[in-house]
Amino acid sequence: MPNTGSSRELAAAVADQFEKITEAPDVDNLETICAPGLVNHALAKWRTPGLDGTREYLTAPLARRFDEVWRERRVITDGEYVVHHGIRAGHWPGGDFLGVHVPSGDFAREVVFMYRVSDGKVAERWAIRDDLGFLRQLGVSLT
């Protein structure tokens, strides 16, 4: 994808659509926005890679427990790369998270989602979340 304003706008729109599909989650429409060989770097190593693993994650009970929205968001584009960076806030209903019992409560955490868009589809995705900050806000001590 050439580094033009229109290609950056298309890449940003594709990344936004991916977020909308995953927040719903509308797993039946992943193929419309993702390349067949999607590499989702955010998936746990034990998950099936690609579209199948992304679909598995989005339909897992833990994925649907977060009621999380953007409080502030910056969108940065550079050629075929799109970065969403900001603060997502929400409510955790309580329960296990990464093998730790976490009580219910409200939280806000910094996140970065990065996408590589190729031929109008998400080809790669990365996610970096402040999970430690999330746990601390909800009173979890990891000592």
| Span 100-123, pLDDT tens digits | 999 999 999 999 999 999 999 999
Q: Both ends of the chain: CA-CA distance in Å?
A: 47
Residue 16 sits at the vertex; the CA angle it makes with 14 and 21, to the nearest 5 degrees, is: 95
Write the DSSP symbol of residue 29: G
What global pTM score does this model have?
0.87
Residue with tokens 């075929």: 80
Higher pLDDT, 22 or 33: 33
Q: Helix (H, G, I), strand (E, B), or coil: what is residue 6?
A: helix
Do 14 and 121 form a contact (C-beta atoms < 8 A)?
yes
- Taking residues 81-110, what's their average pLDDT? 94
Q: Is 49 helix (H, G, I), strand (E, B) or coil?
A: coil
